[in-house]
């Protein structure tokens, strides 16, 4: 159960960091930096998850959100 909670916290950190990066991206030159920052954080967070969680993340987040919406 602790692992699941930790994974959830990691997910929230990634989400907050991504949102922060999106806000930072309004400042032009930071756009690319923010994007790379968000991607790196997401990859790091995904890599640190236990294997079952990582597979779940792949299943849930593997598809393009835009394609999923249609």
List, run by run, the mean pLDDT of 10-residue segments along the chain (70 residues). 69 79 63 75 69 54 51
**Inside any domain, residue 69:** no
Cα 8 to Cα 11: distance, rounded to the nearest angstrom: 5
| b/e sequence 53-62, b meaning 16+ C-beta within 10 Å | beeebeeeee
Dig out the tokens for 25 from the structure. 């991206």
Give the pLDDT of residue 70. 46
pTM: 0.30
Range of the domain at 49: 2-59
**Inside any domain, residue 68:** no
Q: How many domains does the chain have?
A: 1
**Inside any domain, residue 32:** yes
Give the pLDDT of residue 13. 82
């Amino acid at each position: 159960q602790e692992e699941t909670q930790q994974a959830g916290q990691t997910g929230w950190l990634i989400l907050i960091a991504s949102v922060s990066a999106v806000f930072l991206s309004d400042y032009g030159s930071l756009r690319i930096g923010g994007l790379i920052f968000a991607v790196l954080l997401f990859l790091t967070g995904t890599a640190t998850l236990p294997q079952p969680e990582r597979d779940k993340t792949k299943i849930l987040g593997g598809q393009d959100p835009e394609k999923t919406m249609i």
